[in-house]
Structure 1
Amino acid sequence: MEKTYQCMLEGEEPPASDLLLVFGIFAGSALIWTPRLLEKLTTTKAGVKAAFMAYARTALAILEHPDQIIQPSTTSLVGMGILGHLLMNTDGFPIKVHLIRHRCLLMSRDLQIHRLDTAKAREERRIKGCDMIDVEVQRRAWWNMVASDWLLSFSGGPQEGAYTFQSKHMNVNLPSNTDDELITASGVQQEFPLSVPTAMSAFFARVQGSELCRDVIDALPSIMLDSQECDYETILGLDAKYQKHMDDLPFFFKLDTASIEQSRQICKERPYIAWQRVSIHFSLHTRLCRLHRPYHLEGITNPKYAYSHTSCIRSAQKVLELRRLMDEIAVGVGLSPSRFWIVMHHVFFAALILAMDVSFNPHAPDAEARKTKVLAAYQTLEQSKQESNYLMEGIQKNLQTLMSTLHKTRPQTSGAGSRVVQSGVFAETGQAPARLGESSTTHEGGGDGISVQPGSTMAVDEGLDLGMVNDLDQEGWEQLWSEFVAVAPELDVPQWSSLLEDVDFNPQLDAY
């Protein structure tokens, strides 16, 4: 960044790769604003949102400039990686994220990063010399791409069940577990074991979590392709891997009371550790919930799958609990989980699992407590719509998918037509209900942004409001819950499986 400003001060044009990185950093800064920062800069939410869009569009324009192609370099690779990560979690640009990721892969191959630590490459560095800062950054960039790819393969959506990066097709060491200040051009001054917290600790935990996702996809290729029934012992074996991974996490990333107390001073010195701890477990329990979901309902009546039922519910409850903890920790690290649509996607999925379970077990001892958690989660989703038009679209689409599916199972009353809500007035009409997954939102514009407008006309049948996802108050959520509990038990296991597969905030983007 200093080099970029120095170039401009001297009247020179900075390299396009440097500008790409700088504007990506600016966009990231605008995305993680806090009320204190707004006050300090004397600006508003609208102001920082506009700044984010301006910086992001500028970075995209640099990346896509037809006459000034971004040349392969470590700076270019990092700049594209930052931009792709930001756009994945914000409004619009859906297809561009995949294009940026693929471009990162191609550039990495051009730079021979996939062969970074072969014997030949290491010998060349020894003879010719190298900048070890550049080497370490390349390792970080590579493993960040790999981890994202493997996590994506077990996160739902159309990408699930396949990954791009093959372990046998690369020879890249993991980066050093050390802080940035201890890396110089001549080498890493000091490296620490994983039991010692550093700025890279969460990076290693993320890579390890992604390896578990890869193991799941490798072990369950047939079930992902719906070609044959999976051996349940395989599911239990994969679950055991997840449990062992959580047991083996460094103490400062564990959630038990003793470990949290033991790491209190560490979190005081490194506030981001507390946020990372919650985020790591949020990701792991989301995958555990997904691993056991196919056997969750059957586990209610079939003792063979009882463990999956218990585990799925336990992990779903944990996801909602961790989402609440994110709000408590967010102030200290300047992050707002409600701005990241993938967090809200996982919350919706977990809440739906719990809602489904309560509808099948309405008299369970903790049914009322679960209902409260579900309603609280949906209200959190409703409030999060203020942060993002794109998130609002996802919430609307998923709730309408849910309610239209339930609508299809409800017995139709002869002669009873659908009703339509128009500006709060009910009218009789013969209009058909919304189809599965059909959204009442409308899209305006295209290309670099998406504007979502709530539909003014929404189909309703026998009191089942398919459009009640807009600005629900407590009474509205209670009504939604009543409709859900009344109709949900009529769905059989295959119907529930189909519904959960359709639940997706964005079918083109689904990664943690």
Structure 2
Amino acid sequence: MSRPQLARKDKQAAADAIWLEAECASQMSCRSVGTDTTTFRSCSIWSISSVVTIESTSPGPLVRSFSIPLYQESVVLLEKYLRDITYIHHVVLSGPLRTMVDNIYNDIEHKAPVSPGQVALLLSILSSAMYTWTRKDSENAPFATPSKMNATSSLWVKATLDLLDHCRRQSLQSIEAIQAMIIISFVIANLEGITARFRDLLSTAITAARELSLHKVDHQPEIEGREETHADSVDAELKRRVWWYLVATDWMASQFPGPHRGTYSINPLHMVVLKPRNVDDESFMYGIPIVDRPMEQPTEISYSLQRIKLAEICREVIDSSSLTTFNDGNMESGWLLGVDQRIVTFIGQLPQFFRLDGDALDSLNAKYPNIAPGIMIQRYIINSLVHSQRCRLHLPYLARGLVEPMYAPSREACLEAARCVIQAERMLASEDIPFVLTRLKFSGILQCVGIAITALFLDMCLSQEPVPRQARRAEVVDACGILRDATKDSPVAIKLLESFQRVVRKHDMSVSEVISESLCADNSSSSLTDIIANEQDNIPALPHLDEIWQSSQTDANIQTFDWDALFLELDCPMLSS
């Protein structure tokens, strides 16, 4: 027997041994824990008061019946999602997604088995589209007003979670269920912030992805005589997009306050997955060879690739410091400036179309007519994300920068980043794209603005020179105006505005006028007292901002201030974007 033949034989023997080991480890048997069954039906969206009904068939398992909107209604919401939202977390392929929806309704009509994971993906998309529905959407779909659609979204969020829970208990792992977890976690982050529910969804999605071997997409054993088909290539690329979205979210979550701060779950040494390819969805549709585009050329996946790069910086930060050192907020200035340089380099290497001084919308439309609105959305999100991350990094050292020269660069970097966050939001507000109408419903944007206001507000309090203090006062007035504009759509904005006013009105009326000025800038605005009247019981106290003020008055205890506690009040859901 020749050496190549022996090598192939040894390789096959090793593969057989691995397979037998897996069989020995399997606990599957003829008996299993009984679980509920599911059925699906479609009816008018406005006739559905409860998406899930439970029927008891004694003896036998419970039957959970899920209602979904009529096909025409779902298509309207699906197209809304693909038009305005998918750019934020592009973990689907538009063509196959439309085909999946068609197949769901065809199977329901013909009483054929329906994949719960696929329906969960559809429900998550419906929830996201309803939450972000605007008056402009109602112009093309008069069956739904914005207020009615927005109010209904919570019903479908719960239904999505119920169906995903069924999939989990049934061990019905599917790529669609993971996509559904990603999309619905984004909606939940906007409704609640980065809560235990969000972290649980992320953890569950990572576990489910490993069950489907998404962490080793590019380490598949070679199959003798088999060539990769176009369908295989498309499937692998979709898995890369999903896996890397989870990876980036996991690594970025390590930077934010809470029990998981300073930790991450996915070790880069424990995965073999290439980065997603820089191609548009349509490149997968025609059966032709897939060719990567240059990074300087925008695609539907460009934002995801930049998000991955930023996440890698977040992971490197954690790897270069201990858990206790990172969480103590007492890093050496040299380490801070080293991390800052990585972030600045990332900003400098952003493609031209993602820069704040990049082409205007008209120019982008002329060059890239199919994806220009998405590029604009992604431009402002990536800039808000990276600049708020830079601001957050330096914020605990802003006050020390006034009394300790070694931390002066941190103060400058913090304020520069804060101003960039406000600039990005103001520029986005002036764009003529549908996303502008709903942007303030994304609490990630508001939380980034909140971090920026905190930095500008603290610097204003610490400023002793009358002229610069007035300039800083104007900055805070302008920034608070963003929150004022958002109070109509977001309870997060109400909470943030009230928190800032509560602190300043206790200590100095001249400073409290900053908030009042921003509220009075719009004559139609109600007073803050009126705005928060219905929310007061739900707004927690912020004693940590009181501590900021006391530190600014005495220049004492600056080094011992509990900045992590303040950050817990300003957690940033933008990491789910």
TM-score, normalised by the number of residues in structure 2: 0.69
C-alpha contact (below 8 Å) 1:313/1:354 kept by paired residues: yes
Task: Classify the secondary structure of the residue corresponding to 1:511.
Answer: helix
Please point out which of 326, 348, 360 is paired with 2:428: 326
Aligned length: 448
Task: Classify the secondary structure of the residue corresponding to 1:160.
Answer: coil
Where do residues 438-449 of structure 1 align in structure 2 (5 Å cutoff)? none
Alignment partner of 1:498 is 2:562: yes
C-alpha contact (below 8 Å) 1:32/1:334 kept by paired residues: no
Please point out which of 180, 195, 216 is paired with 2:296: 195
Task: Classify the secondary structure of the residue corresponding to 1:494.
Answer: coil
C-alpha contact (below 8 Å) 1:24/1:79 kept by paired residues: yes
Alignment partner of 1:283 is 2:385: yes
Alignment partner of 1:25 is 2:125: yes
Cα distance in 2, alignment partners of residues 304 and 67 from structure 1: 52
Cα distance in 1, alignment partners of residues 254 and 453 from structure 2: 22
Alignment partner of 1:113 is 2:214: yes
Deviates most, 343-352 or 138-147: 343-352
**For residue 482 of structure 2, what is the aligned residue in structure 1?**
380
Where do residues 422-461 of structure 1 align in structure 2 (5 Å cutoff)? 453-455=535-537
**Structure 2 residues not aligned, in runs of 5+:** 1-100, 509-526
**For residue 311 of structure 1, what is the aligned residue in structure 2?**
413
The one-letter amino acid of 1:10's match is H
Deviates most, 192-201 or 328-337: 328-337
The one-letter amino acid of 2:187's match is L
Where do residues 43-442 of structure 1 align in structure 2 (5 Å cutoff)? 43-65=144-166, 69=170, 71-91=172-192, 94-118=195-219, 120-121=220-221, 126=226, 131-184=232-285, 189-221=290-322, 222-226=324-328, 230-256=331-357, 265-266=366-367, 269=370, 270-329=372-431, 331-333=433-435, 336-363=438-465, 365-389=467-491, 392-393=494-495, 396=498, 400=502, 402=503
Please point out which of 127, 138, 145 is paired with 1:38: 138
**For residue 420 of structure 1, what is the aligned residue in structure 2?**
none
Give the fraction of aligned pairs with identical amino acids, expressed as a percent: 23
C-alpha contact (below 8 Å) 2:415/2:455 kept by paired residues: yes
The one-letter amino acid of 2:553's match is P
Cα distance in 1, alignment partners of residues 168 and 318 from structure 2: 41
Cα distance in 1, alignment partners of residues 560 and 441 from structure 2: 29
TM-score, normalised by the number of residues in structure 1: 0.77
C-alpha contact (below 8 Å) 2:121/2:177 kept by paired residues: yes
C-alpha contact (below 8 Å) 2:352/2:358 kept by paired residues: no
C-alpha contact (below 8 Å) 1:397/1:505 kept by paired residues: no
Cα distance in 2, alignment partners of residues 496 and 330 from structure 1: 46
C-alpha contact (below 8 Å) 1:394/1:504 kept by paired residues: no
The one-letter amino acid of 2:314's match is C
- Rate the CA distance shift 1:125–1:293 in 2: closer, same or farther, 3 A: farther
Question: Which one scores higher on RCO, CA 8 angstroms, separation ≥ 6?
Answer: 1
Cα distance in 2, alignment partners of residues 92 and 242 from structure 1: 25
Deviation for aligned residue 1:356: 0.8
Please point out which of 11, 17, 21 is paired with 2:111: 11
C-alpha contact (below 8 Å) 1:320/1:373 kept by paired residues: no
- Rate the CA distance shift 1:207–1:47 in 2: closer, same or farther, 3 A: same
TM-superposition CA deviations, 1:312-361 (whole Å, max 9, x none): 11111111121222222373446522111122112112111111111111
TM-superposition CA deviations, 1:359-384 (whole Å, max 9, x none): 11142644323212212322332442
Cα distance in 2, alignment partners of residues 309 and 161 from structure 1: 23
The one-letter amino acid of 1:206's match is R
TM-superposition CA deviations, 1:419-438 (whole Å, max 9, x none): xxxxx9xxxxxxxxxxxxxx
Larger Rg belongs to: 2
Cα distance in 2, alignment partners of residues 330 and 206 from structure 1: 24
Task: Classify the secondary structure of the residue corresponding to 2:328.
Answer: coil
C-alpha contact (below 8 Å) 1:91/1:388 kept by paired residues: no
Cα distance in 2, alignment partners of residues 403 and 511 from structure 1: 29
- Rate the CA distance shift 1:92–1:192 in 2: closer, same or farther, 3 A: closer
